[in-house]
Structure 1
């Protein structure tokens, strides 16, 4: 199938994360079409906007924006009409709904969602904790962690841990190695949610082979042997079942999807823990 391309301009007075996520989520629904992204963060002055407009004029396409300054919005809309580039203020429909429901007008504050509040510092604390307790470095008191991820090598424990930390959860992860016994504290904890990450042996072998290739290491080992990996996965399933730890198959899941499933499990776990 031949693939077509279009220019997607994302203009933000903040970091641009909202626009990037919205643009990619929408574009992903169209097969055979790819967006050439042009991201312009922290656009807060007329001079900055004029530079953006010159880029749009050079490569017309769709323009999504999250600006709150009405003068900048008017200028961008005018320039895009001249180039035939459709525009959409991504936050406008949400603001309209909130204004109607709350009966109040919003205050134009660029980047207001990134204020240095308690939630922000909670995420920083969680990130520091997670980085310090990666790949088997469990805290002395395991209940310092909100979540502990366990699984054989190459089941995305580290990137999932970092994603969860960015959502404010202190996350440790522990590799399951056939000859390595579990720390007694891990099996005994009740406060921390322990989740087993599993994947198909084929998927794990593929990732491990790529890993060894990047390291220019010998791939003639049990580490990438299909039968040995299948035994590892089976053993990890049995271990999680024994301890009644929930498992998530990450074979066809993105990091975001895995993290979303873990967040659901964590909410249920916290309710049960508080109830007891």
Structure 2
């Protein structure tokens, strides 16, 4: 009965899954010492040969997650020839899923890692959008993938957040007549800037609802049609000066507007 043994963990990705399974299994055997050696990114037959060379087959078990069918078969054959016990963690799962779904797997390595990377990029983009929302810090303009400009209540913030969930770092800048425009807006490439316009009658209704929710006086300039027309005219002139594309947000869903923004940015870049 073995008192000490080695577990060789091989993976064409980082190998965390195989390591966790191997460790959880080994811990079930009390009064036995073991050591795990992990070999990530095993993507060639030469790498397999290098790892297996010189293994003491009496005290080693190989656990692997390799989705490439040819490489997995090569590893399995070599283990058999060297009389090294082995466990292919992925294959039983893939076989069962294949039968259940009646379709073949992509056999693409590192899928979980890519999903994790995508998740953290999305979190970073959302944090970026919150940090630089509504012109809080104009320095974000130079770091952004997309810069949205428009008057108050033209859907800049919800559009920024939606785009952030698509992994875009977005800054939105309110355009207020009489207020200084951030100088960074003229330093960044115009290909990153998208102007948002909206029909004045729709805008006044949106602002009136906002005023009602906040419990403020509905007679303020914020909902004055004259002031709104002045704001929109000022915004339009500034957008022409910058030379950026403009999207009409009137009655547009955020999802629809986001798709337009992405299409424009991709075309321009």
**TM-score (normalised: structure 2):** 0.58
Question: In structure 2, what is the equivalent of residue 264 of structure 1?
Answer: 263
8 Å CA contact retained: 2:204, 2:223: yes
User: How far did 1:266 drift?
Assistant: 1.1
Q: By how many angstroms is 1:142 displaced?
A: 2.6
Whole-angstrom CA distance in 1 between matches of 2:137 and 2:259: 23
**Shift of the alpha carbon at 1:262?**
0.4
Task: Count how many residue pairs are aligned between Structure 1 and Structure 2.
Answer: 171
Query: How far 1:230 moved relative to its partner?
Result: 1.1
> Does structure 1 retain, via aligned residues, the 8 Å contact 2:192–2:265?
yes
Quote the residue 1:202 is aligned against.
201
> Which residues of structure 2 form unaligned runs of 5+?
1-95
**Correspondence for 2:169:** 170
Q: CA deviation at 1:114?
A: 10
Q: Which runs of 5+ in 1 are unaligned?
A: 1-69, 75-91, 100-104, 271-276
CA distance in structure 1 between the partners assigned to 2:196 and 2:239 by the alignment = 10
Query: Which deviates more from structure 2 when the two are superposed, residues 112-121 or residues 135-144?
Result: 112-121
Partners of 1:140 and 1:156 in 2: CA distance: 21
2:223 maps to 1:221: no
Give the equivalent residue in structure 1 for 2:229. Answer: 230
2:49 equivalent in structure 1:
none
- Counterpart CA distance in 2 for 1:121 and 1:247 is 30
How many angstroms apart in 1 are the aligned matches of 2:122 and 2:188? 23
Residues 29-108 of structure 1: matches in 2 within 5 Å? 105-106=104-105
Equivalent pair of 1:142/1:189 in contact (CA under 8 Å): yes
Q: CA RMSD in A?
A: 2.7
How far 1:220 sits from its partner (Å)?
A: 0.6
The CA deviation string for residues 165-198 of structure 1, in whole angstroms up to 9 with x for no partner, is 0001000101011111211111121276111111
Match of 1:5 in 2: none
Is contact 1:205–1:229 with CA below 8 Å preserved after alignment? yes
The question of whether the paired residues in 1 share the 8 Å contact of 2:125 and 2:168 is answered with: yes
Cα separation, partners in 2 of 1:170 and 1:141, compared to 1, 3 Å: closer
Shift of residue 126 of structure 1?
A: 0.7
TM-superposed deviation, 1:269: 2.6
| 2:247 matched residue in structure 1 | 248
Residue 152 (str. 1) matches residue 151 (str. 2): yes
Q: Partners of 1:139 and 1:106 in 2: how far apart?
A: 47
Distance in 1 (alpha carbons) for counterparts of 2:122 and 2:116:
10
Greater C-alpha Rg = 2
Q: Distance in 1 between matches of 2:160 and 2:124?
A: 13
Matched, 1:125 2:124: yes
Contact 1:145 1:192 in 2 (8 A): no
Quick check: 2:190–2:244 contact (8 Å CA) kept in 1? no
- Quote how far apart the aligned CAs of 1:113 are: 8.8
SS of the aligned residue for 1:135 comes to helix
CA contact (8 A) 1:146 1:192 kept: no
Distance, in Å, in 1 between the alignment partners of 2:163 and 2:224 is 31
Query: Does structure 2 conserve the Cα–Cα contact (< 8 Å) formed by 1:127 and 1:165?
Result: yes
| Cα gap change, 1:117 to 1:183, in 2 (>3 Å) | same
**Is 2:150–2:175's contact at 8 Å kept on the other side of the alignment?**
yes
The whole-number CA distance in structure 2 between the counterparts of 1:224 and 1:191 is 31
Output the TM-score relative to the length of structure 1.
Answer: 0.56
